[in-house]
Amino acid sequence: MIGIAKQIVRTLTEAGHKAYFAGGCVRDMLMDREPKDFDIATSALPEQIEKLFSQTYAVGKAFGVMHVVEEGHTFEIATFRSDSGYSDGRRPDAVIFTHAEDDAQRRDFTINGLFYDPLADEILDFIGGRDDLSNKLIRFIGDPHQRILEDHLRIIRAIRFKNTLGFGYHPDTYAALKKHAPLADKVSWERVRDELNKIIMARRAEVAFEDMQDTGVLPYVLPELEACKGVAQPPEYHHEGDVWTHLMQALTSLPEDATLNQHWAVILHDIGKPETFKIAERIRFDRHSEVSAELGEKILRRLCFSRKDIDEITWAVRHHFMMTELLNMEIGKQRQWFLDPRFPTLMQLFYADAMGTTPSSLHLYNQVKAAQEDCLRRFPELPKPLLTGEDVMKNLGLKAGPRVGEILQEAFVKQLGHELQTREEALEWLSTVTHST
């Protein structure tokens, strides 16, 4: 991919423009990490970019942001710009197309403000980013207070980069985060979600959550998680400590190939414990799985997750306490559980829950795993779906298309989860489905 990106820079340069790799990819290259994508910053204007490449898409033409597709890869090419006037705390009121140095100044952190000229093999550092990279420092470009007031998401981004990269905060950065933490409340939930997703998929997620708590950001981002701090668990079963510690220990025990939904299932699996805490013969959290699933659904809806993801995550949360029940089921019923497309998420949650507990035991988990393997060896087939595409189209008056597939998938998941057991029930459910998502 780097070869194609370099070719794009060459094309722009040969047409008389300045063009460099910019931002995250330069940071990653200097850290010997594989960049996820190569963004290019250039003096060329959108109309000029359009003329130089055959496949271009204007994603934010007013901001000078274009996508160029070359050899099947999409690259973001953005005209050097300077932003001015952030009256909504999110995006600039106006942009001015300018030169590279100004473009560096508008970026968030020094380590994200570097350019690289791949033709000359040269770094362009207008903001002291190289020094901060070698000192592993997160430092705002310019005045941290003003930069946070311009775009409040930068509070969460600072915490994200510090922890995903394993860096530290510059003292001025830290002070500004603490001072402005309540502004995190005004960030749109979609943007919060995207940052949270990156945080929880990286190592050190537990330190990132500590940081959010310590700076005072967490009550505005995930108050339900904050509420788990300091809530005791029965010491006879949980030597690790409070609910928060258990959740963090479970989160860090997930294997590297765990999916995003599996991570969320782990974070949310005991989120209902503070609400259900009671003292009987010992500390108990009766019905905490259901309460966690309900609260989890509320959280995921707020964060604008898709219906399908919410269903998978909350299904696993709701059933995370049933390993013994599963082992005692008759095999026909067991099989339906094991074949459920959401089951791998539940399995991962069983694992993380056990590992997140001290002393931890994988005894039950291994039994479930063995039962699953045995069952799938004996009955590898999925049942026949109760509904057909024809049913969906006829009953809802829909034309063939992705929405039909989505509805069929949803029905099949419900069928495997025993919510729909007969064709009549499935048709009945179908009549309650709306056309759009």
* Site residues, ligand ATP (CB under 6 A): 23-24, 36, 39, 107-108, 112-113, 151, 153-154, 198
Q: At a CB cut-off of 8 Å and minimum separation 6, what does 292 contact? A: 268, 269, 270, 271, 272, 273, 317, 318, 320
Residue 125: CB minimum distance to ligand ATP, A: 13
Strands (E), 101-234: 115-117, 122-124, 137-138, 168-169
Residue 286: CB minimum distance to ligand ATP, A: 41
Whole-angstrom Cα Rg for the chain:
25
Q: Which of residues 18-37 bind Mg ion (CB under 5 A)?
A: 24
Q: 210: exposed, middle or buried (C-beta count within 10 Å: 0-12, 13-18, 19+)?
A: middle
Nearer to Mg ion, 78 or 295 (CB): 78
Residue 297: CB minimum distance to Mg ion, A: 30
Residue 107: CB minimum distance to ligand ATP, A: 3
Measured CA to CA, the distance from residue 80 to residue 98 in angstroms comes to 5
| Partner whose binding site includes residue 153, from ligand ATP, Mg ion, none (CB under 5 to 8 Å by kind) | ligand ATP
Measured CA to CA, the distance from residue 182 to residue 199 in angstroms comes to 19
| Partner whose binding site includes residue 233, from Mg ion, ligand ATP, none (CB under 5 to 8 Å by kind) | none
113 binds Mg ion (CB under 5 A): no
| Partner whose binding site includes residue 112, from Mg ion, ligand ATP, none (CB under 5 to 8 Å by kind) | ligand ATP
Measured CA to CA, the distance from residue 343 to residue 417 in angstroms comes to 10
Instruction: Name the 3-class secondary structure at 60.
Output: strand
Nearer to ligand ATP, 138 or 323 (CB): 138
| Partner whose binding site includes residue 154, from Mg ion, ligand ATP, none (CB under 5 to 8 Å by kind) | ligand ATP
Residues, the chain, total?
Answer: 437
> What kind and span of H or E run contains 65?
strand 65-70
Nearer to ligand ATP, 99 or 333 (CB): 99
Measured CA to CA, the distance from residue 178 to residue 176 in angstroms comes to 5
| Partner whose binding site includes residue 73, from ligand ATP, Mg ion, none (CB under 5 to 8 Å by kind) | none
Residue 81: CB minimum distance to ligand ATP, A: 11
| Partner whose binding site includes residue 132, from ligand ATP, Mg ion, none (CB under 5 to 8 Å by kind) | none
Q: At a CB cut-off of 8 Å and minimum separation 6, what does 417 contact? A: 315, 336, 340, 342
Nearer to ligand ATP, 191 or 298 (CB): 191
Nearer to ligand ATP, 28 or 309 (CB): 28
Residues that bind Mg ion (CB under 5 A): 24
